[in-house]
Amino acid sequence: MAIVGFVNAFRCTPLLVQIFLLFYALPDIGIRLTPFETSWLALALWGGAYQTEVFRAAFEAVPKGEVTAARALGLPAFQTFLDVTLPIALRIAITGATTTAITQFRSSSFMIVVGYQELTYVANRIVSDTFKVFETFGIACLMYLLICSILSAASRAFERRLLIPGLGVVK
């Protein structure tokens, strides 16, 4: 029940509000976090809540007949999990997990509000020095696009590696 509460709390509140709470409200109770700590903690908690749901759904989507068949063949519960449930759940979860990871990466730009020097922060500083808005943010966009494209390509390669012939096609 505590996990459900955690997941709902972090999925149902905006990341920006969570960042503000961690950085500006925690000092009121004596906990001070640096911009770096705030950024990573906020992204880890927020992304972890979404990844939890991705994997929960994947494990629930494993056909019960697969588990029943493995148990009928005499496999112990842990062996059934390792050899049957986990491989199927990973195949199901990979797309959602990658999408969540990409969203998490793109959301790192929110960390500018606490002064963490990530890509958007650095681009903003360059613009304030050079006044080259289009070029600077254009390059930042291309960098985000490149990194997200690499993550997507890696995901597709991993999906192909996990593919069971005859059970689906990875495009």
Give the DSSP letter string of 60-89. HHS-HHHHHHHHHTT--HHHHIIIIIHHHH
CA-based radius of gyration for the chain: 21
Report whether pLDDT(171) > 70.
Answer: no
Q: What is the pLDDT of residue 162?
A: 82
Query: 52 near 97, Cβ under 8 Å?
Result: no
Summarize the confidence of residues 142-168 as an average pLDDT.
87
Q: Give pLDDT tens digits for 39-72.
A: 999 999 999 999 999 999 999 999 999 999 999 9
Q: What is the pLDDT of residue 170?
A: 53
- 83 contacts: CB under 8 Å, gap ≥ 6: 70, 75
Q: What is the pLDDT of residue 145?
A: 97
Q: CB atoms < 10 A from the CB of 52, how many? A: 17
Give domain 2-162's CATH architecture: Orthogonal Bundle (1.10)
pLDDT mean across residues, the chain:
93
| Nearest CA among 79, 58, 59 for reference residue 70 | 79
